[in-house]
Amino acid sequence: MNSQTGENLLSIKNDGDQLRVCSMDFAEGLGIQHKNLLESIRTHQNVIESEFGLIAFETRKTETLSSKGRPESLAYLTEDQALFIGTLSRNSKRVVQFKSILVKSFAEARKEQKAKQATTTPALLSVEQVILQQAHTLLEQGNLIAQLRADVDALQAKGRSKVNPHLKATPELKFPAKPASLTPLRQRISRHINEYCDHYNASQSQAYSYLYKRLYDVYGINVYKLPRASKESILDAIERHAHLDRLYSLITAELTYSEN
């Protein structure tokens, strides 16, 4: 970014998994020294990573007056991480203008990313992906038929509780075992799922199945293909691969209910 007044957008890096902005550009936009920004990031690192996923650090030689060609650490921040760090700065005219540019930069990067994804043709899909998609479709159709039969039985019995329509066509999965010590975000997810399922008299396996499908629909994350350690649950793998914040955003956006 060369100028703040020209509305030049920031350079957003697409690492194949998430969009990220370099801390060097971030510091320049705020008008502060890069080392001071890194110090602030490390001070709040635990909070940032517990809420918004792991920060990607990188070390490389930079030709700046402060580093003089010596190796310097860079942080590549996701949009949520960057916006959180932006809240730590006082809202001067420059800071407010930079935050606006930051939001526009990520929005433009997402637009370009979607445009590239839209040009991908089915012919480029691997045989494994095609088979997986077909199997998933058949599983959903079979589950839908079973659910329709269950709904007919419920109407006849006139005693079944309501089930949220979000969960009607999702495959059943074994509910992932909870780790011995849950992170604050995992605890929030678990509590929200428990309350949601209690409210709609639904099973937790249905809720997680729906969320895993939505992770693929919205973010392109196939949880069934994430590398997993021995005896590691799908939810553990999602957390280890830093996708837990995305799962939580889907929960708060889609698995809502009213106490009334």
Q: Which residue has the tokens 């809720």?
A: 207
Mean predicted confidence (pLDDT) in 122-131: 64
Model confidence band, residue 123 (pLDDT cutoffs 50, 70, 90): low
- Select from 83, 118, 153 the last residue of a domain: 118
| C-alpha–C-alpha distance, residues 119 and 8, integer Å | 27
Does residue 149 share a domain with residue 55? no
Task: State residue 87's pLDDT score.
Answer: 87
Name the more confident of 49 and 175.
49
- Rounded to two decimals, the pTM is 0.42
The yes-or-no verdict on residue 1 having pLDDT over 50 is no
- Segment 57-113, tens digit of pLDDT: 988 876 655 556 678 889 999 999 999 998 888 888 998 999 899 999 999 989 988
Does residue 53 share a domain with residue 31? yes
> Which amino acid appears at position 116 of this protein?
K
Domain for residue 4, yes or no? no
Helix spans in the chain (H): 23-30, 34-43, 45-52, 79-86, 93-118, 127-157, 184-200, 204-219, 234-240, 244-254
| C-alpha–C-alpha distance, residues 68 and 70, integer Å | 6
Query: Are residues 179 and 219 in contact, defined by beta-carbon separation less than 8 angstroms?
Result: no
| C-alpha–C-alpha distance, residues 179 and 201, integer Å | 25
Domain for residue 96, yes or no? yes
Does residue 114 share a domain with residue 127? no
Q: Which residue has the tokens 């990067």?
A: 109
Does residue 59 share a domain with residue 27? yes
Does residue 140 share a domain with residue 76? no
Domain for residue 2, yes or no? no
Query: Are residues 53 and 45 in contact, defined by beta-carbon separation less than 8 angstroms?
Result: no
Does residue 241 share a domain with residue 181? yes
- Segment 134-182, tens digit of pLDDT: 777 877 777 778 777 777 777 767 654 555 655 555 555 554 554 446 7
Two tokens at 38? 């890194």
Straight-line distance from the first to the last Cα atom of the chain, in angstroms, rounded to the nearest whole number: 50
Task: State residue 2's pLDDT score.
Answer: 40
- Select from 73, 90, 118 the last residue of a domain: 118
Structural domains counted in the chain: 2
Does residue 237 share a domain with residue 127? yes
Domain that holds residue 111: 12-118
Q: What does the DSSP 8-state code read for residue 225?
A: G
What is the SS3 assignment for 71? Answer: strand
Q: Which residue has the tokens 């110090």?
A: 39
Judging by DSSP bridges, how do beta strands 12-14 and 71-77 pair with one another?
Answer: unpaired
